[in-house]
Amino acid sequence: MRIAPTLNSVNTGEGKKYVRILDTTLRDGEQMPGIALRPDQKLKIALALEDLGVDSIEAGFPITSSGEFEAVKIIAREISSSEVIALARSVKEDIDKVINADTDAIHLFIATSDIHMKYKLRLSPQQVIERAVAAVEYARSHGLIIEFSAEDATRTNPEFLTRVFQAVVDAGASRIDIADTVGVAYPSSMARLVSHIRSSVKGNYIISVHCHNDFGMATANSVAGVEAGAGQIHATILGVGERAGNAALEEVAAAIKFLLGFDTRIKFDRINSVVQLITERYGLVIPPNKAIVGRNAFSHESGIHVHGILSHPLTYEPIDPSLVGAERRIVIGKHSGKHAVMFVLKQLGYEPRDSVVDAVLKRIKELADQGIKVDYKIVEDIIKEVAGGG
Ligand code: KIV
Ligand code: ZN
């Protein structure tokens, strides 16, 4: 076991806030229905996540099975530049498994909402606090870094949440996580909760947010949490996870960097290879319109947009695609205009007259109106036909 050399503070001291990224593709992401990975498959993904630059890799939930325990142990042994963390309920049996897997950190959790305490845990609020504190003290006595999650925090009485977090911070937790377990937060409610915890819990700790996507707001809520003072976000590649999934790492990391202007360690030029690995292992097809990594994220067809892009890319792109390892594509179709056709023809090595461009565009629109998808090969056929091969 070693402590990874990652930044652990909310502020770098250079005026630029640093936000930690805890990747949970191998834990919450593996809880996606129908997914089960072998230890060697999990290790391969962990190595790719380390290469991507995540601060912390949540490798799994060791109590789940012997294979899961093995996977976490191997990952803890092989990963050197990201922290390795594993999940445990606030019970000795789970904590012992994490201790034996020899990770850097432990992710302890207990539910704090009335509905969970009453119907799932069958514990009183006071008993929940006692369990949480006992778990933190026990894990701490074994030298583990402690991240503590209040499960269902966003449906928890905020005053009770403060009491729980204050108790675990006093017992030695260095990161406290607000889990939006069933995805009911929205940006302003998440920001309010982060601010409330920040101002009411005393001590030295980082606030983390763990957002689920049940209402499609996991990315927005994570960003709102960071804006309000969270120093870490939990995310998974492509947002894989339970039900509608978790916050998508590639989206949150890009928003933190390019919209909020904060630092992370994510190397976007590695994102595509990690995404490819996850799509293969998790059997996914990326929707073309998926933010940042979808095929259409930086594609342009409409005549007005292509004209703008060709004059200055920032007219219709929020950032240069190369900043997130993507490429710009000019797509030809029914909505194309003259500038796009001229651009594509030049790309194909032609220097056409205006009248030729007009004729090619007319033919493209005829084909598109018949439902035919016009690719560059078809454009080339059209220009040969229009120009009579000349
Ligand atoms: O969604 C959740 O509440 C969790 C906890 C284990 C943090 O994944
Ligand atoms: Zn979760």
Looking at residue 38, which CATH number applies to its domain?
A: 3.20.20.70
Check whether residue 327 and residue 261 sit in a common domain. Answer: no
Collapse the DSSP code of 212 into the 3-class scheme (helix H, G, I; strand E, B; otherwise coil) and give the result. strand
* Mean pLDDT, residues 326-334 taken together: 96
Q: What is the pLDDT of residue 16?
A: 82
Which tens digit of pLDDT belongs to each residue from 57-79? 999 999 999 999 999 999 999 99
Provide the residue type at 271 as one letter: I
Residue 347 in contact with residue 380, Cβ under 8 Å? no
Residue 222's domain comprises 20-282
Alpha carbon of 222 to ligand 2 centroid (Å):
13
Contacts 24+ apart (CB under 8 A), 366-371: 368/333, 368/334, 369/334
Residues with CB under 6 A from ligand 1: 28, 87, 109, 149, 151, 179, 181, 210, 212
Residue 128 in contact with residue 156, Cβ under 8 Å? no
Ligand 1 pocket test, pick from 98, 107, 175, 181 with the greatest ligand atom count within 8 Å of Cβ, gives 181
Check whether residue 236 and residue 307 sit in a common domain. Answer: no
> Who's near 159: CB < 8 A, 6+ residues apart?
none
Check whether residue 325 and residue 256 sit in a common domain. Answer: no
Statement: the pTM of the whole predicted model exceeds 0.85: yes
Which of 250, 282, 314 is where one domain is finished? 282
Which of 282, 315, 333 is where one domain is finished? 282
Alpha carbon of 29 to ligand 2 centroid (Å):
8
Check whether residue 275 and residue 315 sit in a common domain. Answer: no
Collapse the DSSP code of 234 into the 3-class scheme (helix H, G, I; strand E, B; otherwise coil) and give the result. strand
Which tens digit of pLDDT belongs to each residue from 139-163? 999 999 999 999 999 999 999 999 9
Which of 253, 282, 311 is where one domain is finished? 282
Please give the structure tokens belonging to residue 15: 């005026």
Check whether residue 178 and residue 103 sit in a common domain. Answer: yes
Check whether residue 34 and residue 115 sit in a common domain. Answer: yes
- pLDDT > 50? residue 133: yes
* Mean pLDDT, residues 202-220 taken together: 98
Check whether residue 252 and residue 316 sit in a common domain. Answer: no
How many domains does the structure of the chain reveal? 2
Check whether residue 217 and residue 309 sit in a common domain. Answer: no
Q: What is the pLDDT of residue 388?
A: 75
Which tens digit of pLDDT belongs to each residue from 279-293? 999 999 999 999 999
Check whether residue 314 and residue 209 sit in a common domain. Answer: no
Check whether residue 169 and residue 41 sit in a common domain. Answer: yes
Judge whether 9 lies within some domain: no
* Burial grade of 380 (CB within 10 A; 0-12, 13-18, 19 or more): middle
Please give the structure tokens belonging to residue 160: 């009770």
Collapse the DSSP code of 54 into the 3-class scheme (helix H, G, I; strand E, B; otherwise coil) and give the result. coil
Check whether residue 205 and residue 341 sit in a common domain. Answer: no
Please give the structure tokens belonging to residue 356: 């030729």
How distant, in Å, are the alpha carbons of 69, 90, 234 from that of 312? Answer: 52, 55, 35
